[in-house]
């Protein structure tokens, strides 16, 4: 027999960006939303357990487009990963999955992990072996020899090898492909501003990914590398630190998403070398932070599509603190409602899961959070979520 739950009396933020509905109701049957709307249109519903949510706000669970679930957000996560066993890394992933879910992130995307650990974790969640947020996994990121993230990546050089590397990850079970277009902050000896894989190399991997019906994301910080990736047909630019007007225009025209991860350099700068973060990372984060914010502001103003992502797992970028990213996006010019939409509908659209997730509408999965306050008035309420529901079940 199916399980019916009728929630009523709450303020509804459905994730589409319209005015919240006061005094709403939602009928959940098993894992899905059967009916939702203003209580005046409820009609007669029988046989459902009723839950009164007067004074509360209900919105979709957060969807984080950029996570490293196997990374521990300490000062130097990559050294830790290099010296511990793969089994231990996998167990960290198990613990981190629960943190995301309890903090209201019901779905996310992992953008790079080694040894197939991300695939195993993803499958374990889907099979109900462990409790955690559902997610899409990229497997090993594709990087040039010695390029950004090579220690958890698949090094590949030249068009043919990139094609093969993408096919390998897809064969292993990747839901998306992650490609390194430029250097980055966390890898020693590479520069965020410098291009790495060429446009032709990326285009080959992206073609294979699209043929398989999947999305390609790129770590891209410097202007030329971002341009290369966008022209190669990438679906999302992650970080996008040095955006110029030309690349912003290209992204608008092509509908390329930006996943800003503003919190990643923020927490590196805030904590510094005193907290054990390698000096090369602190110096680079210090250098890029202001450019990063300016680029975000320009992209947002120009109408680039933006999906929320935190880069959780980088130094002091905790697995249960996604709302910091929403706050920074608002500090840099978004309205609170825009930040909420980027973190729900926007991310779901980028991940290719909008048919089933990302907004609270009839026929979609019942992934939602219950809040004590209206997040549009106070985003801090997202740090203290009252309750989380995943696939129609209360998370405990
Ligand atoms: Zn990342």
Return the number of other C-beta atoms located less than 10 Å from residue 184's C-beta.
28
Per residue in 120-173, pLDDT tens?
999 999 999 999 999 999 999 999 999 999 988 999 999 999 999 999 999 999
Return the number of other C-beta atoms located less than 10 Å from residue 335's C-beta.
12
Distance 294 CA to ligand 1 centre (A): 20
Average confidence (pLDDT) over 15-38 = 98
Distance 68 CA to ligand 1 centre (A): 6
Per residue in 251-294, pLDDT tens?
999 999 999 999 999 999 999 999 999 999 999 999 999 999 99
Distance 311 CA to ligand 1 centre (A): 5
pLDDT at 135: 98
Distance 67 CA to ligand 1 centre (A): 6
Distance 66 CA to ligand 1 centre (A): 6
Give 191's pLDDT tier (boundaries 50, 70, 90): confident
Which pTM does this prediction carry? Answer: 0.97
Per residue in 363-379, pLDDT tens?
999 999 999 999 999 99
Give the residue among 287, 257, 248 at the shortest CA–CA distance from 352. 257
Distance 301 CA to ligand 1 centre (A): 24
What integer best gives the mean pLDDT of the chain? 96
Distance 372 CA to ligand 1 centre (A): 31
Distance 238 CA to ligand 1 centre (A): 8
pLDDT at 185: 78
Per residue in 73-94, pLDDT tens?
999 998 898 899 999 999 999 9
Average confidence (pLDDT) over 343-351 = 98
- The rounded distance, in Å, linking the Cα atoms of 108 and 24 is 27
- The rounded distance, in Å, linking the Cα atoms of 353 and 253 is 22
- Name residues with Cβ closer than 5 Å to ligand 1, which is an ion: 311
Distance 111 CA to ligand 1 centre (A): 6
Distance 23 CA to ligand 1 centre (A): 40
- The rounded distance, in Å, linking the Cα atoms of 245 and 232 is 18
pLDDT at 1: 78
Long-range CB contact pairs, 263-267, < 8 A, 24+:
263/310, 263/311, 263/317, 263/324, 263/325, 263/328, 264/185, 264/239, 264/310, 264/311, 264/314, 264/317, 265/185, 265/289, 265/292, 266/324, 266/328, 267/73, 267/314, 267/315, 267/316, 267/317
pLDDT at 192: 74
* Sheet containing strand 134-137, strands side by side: 62-67, 105-110, 134-137
Distance 65 CA to ligand 1 centre (A): 10
Distance 349 CA to ligand 1 centre (A): 19
Contacts of 40 (CB under 8 A, 6+ apart): 23
Average confidence (pLDDT) over 11-28 = 98
3 state SS of 136: strand
pLDDT at 152: 86
């Amino acid at each position: 027999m199916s399980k019916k739950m009728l929630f009523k009396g709450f303020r509804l933020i459905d994730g589409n960006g319209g005015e919240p509905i006061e005094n709403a109701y939602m009928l959940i049957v098993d894992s899905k939303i059967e009916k939702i709307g203003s209580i005046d249109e409820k009609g007669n519903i029988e046989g459902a357990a009723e839950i009164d949510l007067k004074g509360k706000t209900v919105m979709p669970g957060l969807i984080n487009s950029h996570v490293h679930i196997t990374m521990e957000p300490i000062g130097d996560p990559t050294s830790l990963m290099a010296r511990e066993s793969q089994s231990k890394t996998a167990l960290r992933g198990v613990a981190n999955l629960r943190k995301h879910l309890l903090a209201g992130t019901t779905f996310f995307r992992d953008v790079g992990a080694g040894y197939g650990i991300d695939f195993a974790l993803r499958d374990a969640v889907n099979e109900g072996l462990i409790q955690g947020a559902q997610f899409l996994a990229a497997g090993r990121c594709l990087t040039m020899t010695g390029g950004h993230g090579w220690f958890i990546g698949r090094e590949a050089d030249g068009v043919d090898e990139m094609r093969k590397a993408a096919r390998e990850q897809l064969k292993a079970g990747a839901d998306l492909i992650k490609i390194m277009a430029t250097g980055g902050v966390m890898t020693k000896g590479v520069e965020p501003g410098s291009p790495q894989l060429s446009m032709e190399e990326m285009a080959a991997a992206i073609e294979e990914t699209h043929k398989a019906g999947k999305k390609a994301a790129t770590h891209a910080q410097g202007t030329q590398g971002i341009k290369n990736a966008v022209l190669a047909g990438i679906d999302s630019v992650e970080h996008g630190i040095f955006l110029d007007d030309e690349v912003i225009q290209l992204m608008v025209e092509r509908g390329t998403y930006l996943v800003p991860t503003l919190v990643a350099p923020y927490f590196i700068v805030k904590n510094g070398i005193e907290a054990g973060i390698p000096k090369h990372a602190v110096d680079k984060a210090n250098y890029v932070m202001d450019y990063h914010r300016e680029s975000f502001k320009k992209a947002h103003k120009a109408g680039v599509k933006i999906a929320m992502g935190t880069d959780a797992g980088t130094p002091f970028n905790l697995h249960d603190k996604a709302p910091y990213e929403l706050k920074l996006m608002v500090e840099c010019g978004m309205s609170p409602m825009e930040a909420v939409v980027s973190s729900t509908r926007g991310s779901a659209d980028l991940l290719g899961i909008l048919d089933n997730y990302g907004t609270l509408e009839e026929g979609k999965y019942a992934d939602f959070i219950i809040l004590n306050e209206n997040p549009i008035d106070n985003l801090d309420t997202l740090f203290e979520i009252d309750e989380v529901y995943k696939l129609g079940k209360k998370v405990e």
